[in-house]
C-alpha cells in the first residue's frame, strides 16, 4: 500500500486501499436506523446556527405564553428542565470529556443549594445578596471537588467512583441528620448554644430561602427564573464548548482514551482529573443555587442518589461527550419521564399519565429496530391480533378479565379516551389489581415481562419476531395493571435503570454522541 503515494482524491471503493479502509468508520456510522438518519441531518446544519435557533426558541417561550395557571406550570417545567440541563452539562465534563465516573456529583449540587440557603435565608439570619453568594458557593464547591478527587488521584477511575459515591452518600446523611449535631458533648464549650446543634434542618430542610436578587432587584416571577436559568445554561454551554476545544479539553479527551499515553505525552493527568471534577462541581453548585432560589428552600431529597441516576440517564441518553446531547437528554428525560409520567399535571394529562409516552416509545423502538417495513408491519399486525384474540378468549371464559381496570383506579383519571378504549379491547385486565394487597397478577406479569425481554436479547431470526408479540402485549398489561399508577415513584426509576442498561448495550453513544472505539 505504500509503493505509490496514495491518491487522496481517488473515488470509489478499492478494497485494501488506504482511503477506503480509512473511511470505513464513516460508512459504518451511516445507516444506523432512524436515529442515525436524524443525526446525519443534524450534523449537516452548522452548529452555531442550531445553537442560535434553539436559544431563540427558548427565549420566545415565556413571551408567547400568557400568565394563566397552566402556562406558569409549563414555564416551571421549562425552568426545571433547564436546571437539569445545567446539571447534565456539568456532569458531562467528568463523564463525557474525561471519562471519569463521578458519582459524588449530586453532592456539589446539594452544596450549592445548602450553601445558598445558609447565606441567604432566615436559618442563620444571614441575607447576603446573590451576586456575593453565587461566586463564593461555586468556588467552595469547585475546591471541594478538587479536594475530594485528591485521595483517588493516583488510582484508577474505579476508586474515584467509589470515593465519590460514598461522598454523595455522606452529604445526604449530613443533610438529613445535621439537625442534631453534637460535638462529643462539647457544644457549650465550643460556643454553640444547644446540646444538639441544628445545621441543615434535617429531613425538613431549610425553608424560606431568599429569591435571587441583585442590588435590591429581586427575581420573583416564573419568567425571571426561566430567563436566569436559560442564561446560565447558555453561558455554561458556551464556556464548556470553548473549554472542550482548548488544550485542556484536548487533554481531557486524551486521558479518556488512554491515560498512560496522555501522561507520556506531557499531560499532568492527575491535575486534569481533579480539574474535570472541579469544573463539574462548579457547574453543579451553580445549578444548586438556582434550584434553592427557585424552590425557596433546600430539601435533602432533591439531592439524593435517585436524582444522581436521573442526571446520569440524561447524559448517557443524550450521548456522553456531547454538550448538545446533554441538553437534549435533560429535556427528554425531565419533560417526558419526570413530568410526562406525573399524574394530575397538565403534561401528565396530555400524555394520559404517561400512557402515550409509554406506547409511543415502544412503537418508536420497534420502528427503529426492525426493518424492512414488511417485517415491521407483520409484527405490528401480530401484536394487535394477539391482543384481540387473548381478549376474546378471556371474554369467553370469564367476564372479570375483560373490562377491568382502566377505570378502576382510585381516581377517574385513567379513562384514557380513544387510546384507552383501544387498550381496553386489546388487553385482558383482571379486575381488582389496583386494590391494595392484590399485587399477584402484576408481580408475575412484571417478572415474566423481564424474562421475556431478556429472552429477546438472546434469540434470533423469526423466533425473535414471534417473541416480540407477547412481550409487547405483556408490557401493556404490566403498564396498565400497576406501573401507570406508580408513575411518580418507582416506575420512572425502574425505567431509568432499564434505560441505562439498555443504552449501554444497544447504543452507548446515546442520541447525539459519537460512537467510541476502544481497542482495535
Residues between 96 and 125 with contacts to other proteins, criterion CB under 8 A: 99-101, 103
Regarding 239 and contact with other proteins (CB under 8 A), the answer is: yes
Closest contact distance (angstroms) between CB of 135 and other proteins is 14
Q: Judged by CB under 8 A, which of 166, 350, 373, 421 binds other proteins?
A: 166
The one among 309, 362, 376, 467 contacting other proteins by CB under 8 A: 309
Q: Which helix (DSSP H) or strand (DSSP E) does residue 87 occupy?
A: helix 69-92
Looking at 44-52, 54-62, 181-189, 373-381, which segment touches other proteins (CB under 8 A)? 181-189
Asked if residue 473 lies in contact with residue 427, where contact means CB atoms within 8 angstroms, the answer is yes
Is 158 among the residues that bind other proteins (CB under 8 A)? yes
- Residue 178 exposed, middle or buried by CB count within 10 Å (0-12, 13-18, 19+): middle
Please name the residue that has the C-alpha cell 432560589.
293
Nearer to other proteins by Cβ, of 6 and 410: the residue is 6
Q: Which is nearest to 324 in space by CA: 138, 79, 510, 59?
A: 510
What's the CA angle centered on 467, arms 466 and 471, to 5 degrees?
A: 130
Residues 376 and 402: beta-carbon distance below 8 Å: no
Among 161, 207, 422, 452, binds other proteins (CB under 8 A): 161
Closest separation in Å from C-beta 479 to other proteins? 12
Site membership for other proteins, residue 91 (CB under 8 A): no
Q: Which is nearer to other proteins, 211 or 439 (CB)?
A: 439
CB-CB neighbours of 486 under 10 Å: 15
Q: How many chain residues interact with other proteins (CB under 8 A)?
A: 108
CA dihedral 135, 138, 144, 146 (to 10 degrees): -100
Q: 450 to 469, contacts with other proteins by CB under 8 A? A: 450, 454, 457
Cα distance between residue 230 and residue 56, in whole Å: 11
Q: Collapse the DSSP code of 343 into the 3-class scheme (helix H, G, I; strand E, B; otherwise coil) and give the result.
A: coil
Q: What cell does 334 get?
A: 425531565
Footprint on residues 467-486 left by other proteins (CB under 8 A): 482-483, 486
Other Cβ atoms less than 10 A from the Cβ of 295: the count is 17
Shortest separation between residue 219's beta carbon and other proteins, angstroms:
26
Q: Does 234 bind other proteins (CB under 8 A)?
A: no
- H-helix or E-strand spanning residue 27: helix 24-29
List 83, 134, 163, 380, residue binding other proteins (CB under 8 A): 163
Which element (helix H / strand E) includes 213?
strand 213-214
Task: Give the number of residues written for the chain.
Answer: 520
- What angle (nearest 5°) sits at the alpha carbon of residue 122, between those of residues 120 and 123? 90
Verify binding: residue 205, other proteins, rule CB under 8 A: no
- The three cell numbers of residue 478 are 404490566
203 interacts with other proteins by CB under 8 A: no
Confirm or reject binding of residue 333 to other proteins (CB under 8 A): no
State which residue, 120 or 487, has the beta carbon closest to other proteins.
487
For the segment 248-287, give every residue that binds other proteins (CB under 8 A). 248-251, 253-254, 256-258, 260-269, 275, 279
Judged by CB under 8 A, does residue 491 bind other proteins? yes
Piece of the chain touching other proteins by CB under 8 A; list 60-68, 150-158, 328-336, 410-418: 150-158
Where helices occur in 190-301 by DSSP H, the ranges are 222-245, 247-257, 259-264, 269-295
- DSSP β-bridge partners for residue 297: 207
Q: Which set of grid coordinates corresponds to residue 393?
A: 378468549
Determine if 422 is a binding residue for other proteins (CB under 8 A).
Answer: no
Output 190 or 396, the one with its CB closest to other proteins.
190
* By CB under 8 A, residue 64 contacts other proteins: no
Shortest separation between residue 490's beta carbon and other proteins, angstroms: 4
Q: Are the C-beta atoms of 116 and 289 separated by less than 8 Å?
A: yes
Tell the smallest beta-carbon distance from residue 368 to other proteins (Å).
18
Does 162 contact other proteins by CB under 8 A?
Answer: yes
Does position 170 interact with other proteins (CB under 8 A)? The reply is yes
Of 56, 63, 396, 517, the residue at the interface with other proteins (CB under 8 A) is 517
Q: Which is nearer to other proteins, 13 or 151 (CB)?
A: 151
Cβ neighbour number for residue 517 with a 10 Å cutoff = 8
CB of 274 to other proteins, least distance (A): 12
Q: Of the two residues 50 and 155, which places its CB atom closer to other proteins in the complex?
A: 155
Cα 467 versus chain centre, distance = 30
Residues 6+ apart with CB under 8 A from 296: 207, 208, 209, 210, 211
- Footprint (CB under 8 A) of other proteins, residues 13-32: 18-19, 21-26
Q: Which is nearer to other proteins, 272 or 383 (CB)?
A: 272
Residue span 340-379 as binding mask against other proteins, x where in contact by CB under 8 A, dash where not: ----------------------------------------
Closer residue to other proteins in complex, CB, 70/204:
204
Q: Is the Cβ of residue 36 or residue 382 nearer to other proteins in the bound state? A: 36
Q: How far is the CB of 254 from other proteins (least distance, A)?
A: 4
196 touches other proteins by CB under 8 A: no
Measured distance CA(369)–CA(325) in Å, rounded: 21
Closest CA to 77 of 275, 348, 258, 271: 348
Amino acid at each position: 500500500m505504500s509503493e505509490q503515494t496514495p491518491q487522496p482524491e481517488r473515488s470509489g471503493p478499492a478494497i485494501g486501499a488506504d482511503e477506503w479502509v480509512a473511511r470505513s468508520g464513516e460508512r459504518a456510522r451511516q445507516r444506523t436506523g432512524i436515529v442515525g438518519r436524524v443525526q446525519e441531518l443534524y450534523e449537516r446544519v452548522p452548529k452555531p446556527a442550531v445553537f442560535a435557533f434553539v436559544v431563540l426558541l427558548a427565549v420566545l417561550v415565556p413571551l408567547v405564553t400568557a400568565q394563566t395557571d397552566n402556562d406558569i406550570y409549563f414555564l416551571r417545567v421549562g425552568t426545571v428542565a433547564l436546571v437539569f440541563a445545567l446539571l447534565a452539562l456539568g456532569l458531562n465534563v467528568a463523564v463525557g470529556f474525561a471519562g471519569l465516573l463521578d458519582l459524588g456529583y449530586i453532592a456539589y449540587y446539594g452544596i450549592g443549594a445548602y450553601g445558598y440557603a445558609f447565606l441567604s435565608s432566615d436559618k442563620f439570619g444571614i441575607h447576603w445578596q446573590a451576586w456575593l453568594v453565587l461566586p463564593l458557593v461555586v468556588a467552595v464547591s469547585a475546591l471541594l471537588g478538587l479536594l475530594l478527587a485528591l485521595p483517588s488521584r493516583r488510582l484508577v477511575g474505579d476508586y474515584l467512583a467509589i470515593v465519590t459515591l460514598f461522598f454523595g452518600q455522606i452529604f445526604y446523611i449530613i443533610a438529613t441528620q445535621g439537625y442534631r449535631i453534637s460535638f462529643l458533648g462539647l457544644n457549650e464549650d465550643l460556643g454553640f448554644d444547644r446540646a444538639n446543634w441544628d445545621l441543615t434542618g434535617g429531613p425538613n430542610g431549610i425553608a424560606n430561602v431568599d429569591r435571587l436578587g441583585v442590588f435590591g432587584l429581586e427575581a420573583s416571577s416564573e419568567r425571571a427564573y426561566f430567563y436566569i436559568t436559560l442564561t446560565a445554561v447558555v453561558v455554561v454551554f458556551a464556556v464548556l464548548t470553548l473549554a472542550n476545544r482548548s488544550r485542556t479539553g484536548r487533554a481531557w479527551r486524551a486521558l479518556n482514551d488512554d491515560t498512560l499515553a496522555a501522561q507520556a505525552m506531557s499531560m499532568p493527568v492527575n491535575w486534569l482529573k481533579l480539574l474535570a471534577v472541579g469544573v463539574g462541581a462548579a457547574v453543579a453548585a451553580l445549578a444548586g443555587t438556582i434550584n434553592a432560589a427557585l424552590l425557596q428552600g433546600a430539601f435533602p431529597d432533591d439531592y439524593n442518589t435517585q436524582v444522581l441516576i436521573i442526571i446520569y440517564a440524561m447524559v448517557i441518553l443524550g450521548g456522553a461527550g456531547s454538550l448538545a446531547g446533554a441538553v437534549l437528554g435533560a429535556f427528554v428525560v425531565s419533560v417526558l419521564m419526570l413530568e410526562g409520567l406525573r399524574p394530575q399535571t397538565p403534561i401528565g394529562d396530555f400524555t394520559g399519565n404517561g400512557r402515550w409516552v409509554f406506547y409511543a416509545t415502544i412503537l418508536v423502538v420497534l420502528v427503529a429496530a426492525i426493518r424492512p417495513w414488511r417485517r415491521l408491519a407483520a409484527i405490528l399486525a401480530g401484536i394487535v391480533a394477539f391482543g384481540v384474540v387473548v381478549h376474546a378468549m378471556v371474554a369467553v371464559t370469564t367476564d372479570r378479565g375483560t373490562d377491568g381496570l382502566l377505570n378502576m383506579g382510585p381516581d377517574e383519571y385513567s379513562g384514557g379516551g380513544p387510546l384507552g378504549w383501544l387498550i381496553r379491547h386489546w388487553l385482558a385486565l383482571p379486575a381488582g389489581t389496583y386494590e391494595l394487597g392484590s399485587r399477584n397478577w402484576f408481580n408475575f406479569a412484571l417478572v415474566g415481562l423481564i424474562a421475556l425481554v431478556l429472552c429477546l436479547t438472546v434469540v434470533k431470526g423469526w423466533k425473535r419476531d414471534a417473541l416480540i408479540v407477547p412481550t409487547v402485549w405483556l408490557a401493556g398489561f404490566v403498564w396498565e395493571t400497576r406501573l401507570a399508577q406508580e408513575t411518580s415513584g418507582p416506575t420512572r426509576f425502574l425505567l431509568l435503570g432499564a434505560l441505562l442498561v439498555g443504552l449501554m448495550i444497544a447504543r452507548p453513544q446515546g442520541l447525539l454522541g459519537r460512537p467510541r472505539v476502544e481497542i482495535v
